[in-house]
């Protein structure tokens, strides 16, 4: 087994067993740290990540189950593998259901132990770091800055539907804060102490979305070297947030519909049915009705998603919130950069409040970060000439989500003179990766002549 960078904590009151496991781990290229009791482990600094905990279930004093409960109370997230005797199996199974990753029955062989650790490390990577599975749940309305009527209506709807298990569909342009609304829905729900699991359907290659959602068995396809749990399983008893649901492929939509209606599915490469209890929140900036008419989205799936729709307004429809957002972002970035910025010039604030912001709140946030970087005094330095250039000319309007997406991209390209990548480019303004923006431009048939009128004709 190669060095994965994983630190393995071993808690066992049997000194010979404890040191034997530690020696095996080190010979396999893993770092190991041992503890003789649950009390000793809990008194030590919290586990570093990525890490794995090998925990004897039958410890004297503070038991393995007690350690698991204390870690959960402290919101310390570390994959736990229980080490158990035959008589402790029923207790350990309950612990696994409560959140432990696995358990091994003594005596176990070396390969079995190392495989279990490798799977737990992979679980950590896919569930915590690389795929951003869990979103912290300590969010509430305080993170949604503003006092406009448009925002107040959204918050009223959130307060109504959050305590239920009903599916919520968030509509809104890119950068309007749909993820914050999803976080608020989760944090105000009875599921707030469980995971909020996120998947951006547009950021995953189409061929991998099914595996990300439902998981796969070892050998299910080329490259499937280990068993993998999908997002639905990771969100069991919690909330699953599917961003950009309109990008789900048509052939995958029936399986998603079944998972939502029946709360069950099969992993790729398996015939075993898995049941989960996950509350779904979906979001899109696309016009799903138009996609239904074009045969790109299933009507029955739309009805299943659209149980409680919430429209998240663009920033141009809540301009009275812009000064509050500006102060919020200035305070946050000044604190991070250890700067003291006490005021925003009135003329600059007026320019900020009247800018078009095609990228919505995400664009405003990025712009304020740049302003804080440039500021060398206690007064915010705002390059207002950038805001003047950002004004779209002519001003474009959209009647559908599809058109709104296309026009937002064109406006952003016009604002930065057609520059796609780099600091201040269209991708940054829209909060997108360069490759994602180029893919959207191709799909929406956006050419240089759409955002650079000079290129529409033939130059001499």
pLDDT tens for each residue of 247-304: 999 999 999 999 999 999 998 888 899 999 999 999 999 999 999 999 999 999 999 9
Least confident of 98-102, 222-226, 436-440: 98-102
Whether 82 shows a pLDDT value over 70: the answer reads yes
- Contact of 174 with 218, CB cutoff 8 Å: no
Total residues found in the chain within this entry: 460
- Assessment of whether the complete model's pTM goes beyond 0.75: no
Query: What φ, ψ does residue 176 adopt, rounded to 5°?
Result: -85, -10
Whether 424 shows a pLDDT value over 50: the answer reads yes
Place of tokens 């993998």: 228
Euclidean distance between the first and final Cα of the chain, in Å? 65
User: Which residue in 373, 410, 376 sits closest to 393, CA to CA?
Assistant: 410
Least confident of 53-57, 308-312, 396-400: 396-400
What's the rounded mean pLDDT across residues 400-405? 65
Whether 2 shows a pLDDT value over 80: the answer reads no
Helices and strands in the chain: count of H runs, count of E runs: 20, 12
Q: How far is CA 132 from the centre of its chain?
A: 5
Say whether the peptide bond before residue 99 is cis (omega within 30 degrees of 0): no
pLDDT recorded at residue 198: 93
- Contact of 175 with 360, CB cutoff 8 Å: yes
pLDDT recorded at residue 245: 95
Which tokens is 409 given?
């991209």
Query: What φ, ψ does residue 319 adopt, rounded to 5°?
Result: -60, -25
Residues facing 297 on adjacent strands:
none
User: Which residue in 3, 54, 55 sits closest to 28, CA to CA?
Assistant: 3
Most confident of 62-76, 335-349, 388-402: 335-349
């Amino acid at each position: 087994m190669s060095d994965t960078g994983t630190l393995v904590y071993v808690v066992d009151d049997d000194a010979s067993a404890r040191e034997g496991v530690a020696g095996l781990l080190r010979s396999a290229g893993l770092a190991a740290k041992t503890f003789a009791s649950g009390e000793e482990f809990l008194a030590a600094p919290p586990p570093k990540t990525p890490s794995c905990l090998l925990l004897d279930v039958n410890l004297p004093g503070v038991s393995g189950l007690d350690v698991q409960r204390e870690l959960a109370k402290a919101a310390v997230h570390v994959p736990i593998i229980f080490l158990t005797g035959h008589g402790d199996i029923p207790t350990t199974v309950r612990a696994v259901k409560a959140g432990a990753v696995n358990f091994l029955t003594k005596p176990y062989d070396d390969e079995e132990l190392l495989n279990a650790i490798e799977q737990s490390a992979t679980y950590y990577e896919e569930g915590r770091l690389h795929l951003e599975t869990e979103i912290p749940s300590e969010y509430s309305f305080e993170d949604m800055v503003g006092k406009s009527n448009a925002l107040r209506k959204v918050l009223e709807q959130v307060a109504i539907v959050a305590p239920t298990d009903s599916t919520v569909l968030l509509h809104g342009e890119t950068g309007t804060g749909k993820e914050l609304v999803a976080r608020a829905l989760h944090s105000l729900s009875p599921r707030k102490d469980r995971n909020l699991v996120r998947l951006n359907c547009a950021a995953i290659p189409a061929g991998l979305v099914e595996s990300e959602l439902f998981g796969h068995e070892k050998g299910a396809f080329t490259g499937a070297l280990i068993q993998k749990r999908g997002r639905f399983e990771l969100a069991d008893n919690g909330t699953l947030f599917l961003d950009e649901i309109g990008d789900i492929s048509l052939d995958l939509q029936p399986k998603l519909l079944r998972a939502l209606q029946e709360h069950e599915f099969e992993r790729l490469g398996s015939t075993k049915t898995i049941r989960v209890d996950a509350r779904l929140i979906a979001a899109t900036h696309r016009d799903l009705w138009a996609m239904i008419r074009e045969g790109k989205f299933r009507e029955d799936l739309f009805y299943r998603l659209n149980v409680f729709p919430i429209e998240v307004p663009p920033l141009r429809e809540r301009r009275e919130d812009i000064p509050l957002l500006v102060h919020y972002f200035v305070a946050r970035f000044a604190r991070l950069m250890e700067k003291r910025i006490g005021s925003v010039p009135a003329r600059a604030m007026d320019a900020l409040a009247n800018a078009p912001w095609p990228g919505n709140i995400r664009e405003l946030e990025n712009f304020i970060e740049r302003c804080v970087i440039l500021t060398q005094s206690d007064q915010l330095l705002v390059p207002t000439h950038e805001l003047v250039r950002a004004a779209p000319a002519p001003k474009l309007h959209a009647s559908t989500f599809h058109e709104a997406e296309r026009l937002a991209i064109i406006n952003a390209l016009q604002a930065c003179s057609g520059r796609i990548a780099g600091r201040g480019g269209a991708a940054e303004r829209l909060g997108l990766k360069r490759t994602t923006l180029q893919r959207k431009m191709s799909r929406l048939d956006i050419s240089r002549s759409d955002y650079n009128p000079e290129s529409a004709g033939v130059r001499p």
